[in-house]
Structure 1
Amino acid sequence: MAKRPQLTGRAAILAVVVCAISMSLAYPIREYVAQRRQIAQLEQQQTQALRNLQKLEERRRQLEDPEYIKRQAKERLHYCEPGAKCFVVLDAGEGKAAAKAGAKPAEQAPWYLTLWQSVEAADSGRDAVQASVQTGQE
């Protein structure tokens, strides 16, 4: 009985054909997947751009409203209509904080006093400096 070879000529040709088909399909499939990913990103950017456009349209409508403009002028710029009495309270938050604390904040020493104290602190080694001055060694 003759021993048959494990890989026949037909099987080898079939393997080569399958490899060739898979190699020829690999690049288009990869490009397809990349294009689908790019399409998804572009759709996401489009939805974000549409949201931004809607926000800008809403802001444009607000700025075209005369009542909104008057309200903003009063709040931000402290405009007052002719004939009306308008008041602006300054430092409202600081007065409450000082009243809650019950005492004045600690005062800081003047700059010249701080400077003089630093000179005195640096001069704490005065004896060594005076001895070198008396001997003429500086």
Structure 2
Amino acid sequence: MAEDRAKKGAKDGSEGRAAARTGDRAGGGSGRGEGAQRGNPALTSRAAILAVVVCAIALSLAYPVREYIAQRKEIADLRRQEAAARRQVEILAQRKQQLGEKSYIEREATRRLHYCRPDVKCYIVMDDGPDDGRQARRGGPTSRPPWYETLWRSVEAADRPR
């Protein structure tokens, strides 16, 4: 009995499909089957949903990735600043050590402030040596006149009759 039902169902299914096909043709359609009418459109609903999901994922990841990159840059900048601060601390520690030595302070006082110890004879030589520029800046006499005076004197000398 079960076999008879299976045969009958298979027979009815194939007859139904054949009738549908002939009905499409008889109905004055374009002559194409139902599968050919639907075809494969360029954008199916599944592809559209997939595109929306991919865009949503990309948009949701854009801000965290941008923040991550900004934080990495900030960390690198802070590390450079830390290295510079460490170098500055080392330089200042060396300077502090130098200033703690009595001999260094005495040398600097003698060199910069012209201090002399009581048991040492100190001399200051005042001549017109290489310090002419300092005297000129302080308002002392200059060894050479300004360029415009030299120019004017040359014009006057050229103007005199021979």
Counterpart of 2:66 (choices 26, 30, 46) is 30
**Letter matched to residue 38 of structure 1:** E
**Aligned-pair CA distance for 1:4:** 2.0
Q: 4+ residue stretches of structure 1 with deviation over 3 A? A: 94-97, 104-107
Query: What does the per-residue CA deviation read over 1:86-111, in whole Å, with 9 as the maximum and x for residues that have no partner?
Result: 101124426889xxxxxx9578xxxx
Q: RMSD of aligned C-alpha atoms?
A: 2.4
- 2:100 matched to which residue of 1? 64
Question: In the superposition, relative to structure 1, how do residues 106 and 53 fare at CA in structure 2: closer, same or farther (>3 Å)?
Answer: closer
Alignment of 1:43-82 (within 5 A): 43-82=79-118
- SS of 1:81's equivalent? coil
In structure 1, stretches of 5+ residues that fail to align are 98-103, 108-138
Q: How far apart, CA to CA, are the structure 1 residues paired with 2:121 and 2:90?
A: 38
Aligned partners of 1:34, 1:47: CA distance in 2, in Å? Answer: 20
The one-letter amino acid paired with 2:104 is Y
Amino acid paired to 2:71: Q
Query: Corresponding residue for 2:52?
Result: 16
Q: Which amino acid aligns with 1:35?
A: Q
The CA distance in 2 between the partners of 1:95 and 1:21, in whole Å, is 75
TM-aligned CA distance change 1:30 to 1:95, over 3 Å: closer
TM-score of the pair, normalised by structure 2? 0.57
Q: Deviations over 1:41-89 (max 9, x none)?
A: 1111101111111111011001000010010011111111112211011
Matches within 5 A, 1:40-119: 40-93=76-129, 105=143
TM-score, scaled relative to structure 1: 0.66
Give 5+ residue unaligned stretches, structure 2: 1-35, 134-141, 146-162
Give % identity: 50
Bigger Rg, structure 1 or 2: 2
| Pair 1:4-2:66 in alignment | no
Please tell me the residue identity of whatever aligns with 1:85. Answer: K
In 2, Cα distance between equivalents of 1:106 and 1:5: 95
CA–CA distance in structure 1, aligned partners of residues 115 and 132 of structure 2? 26
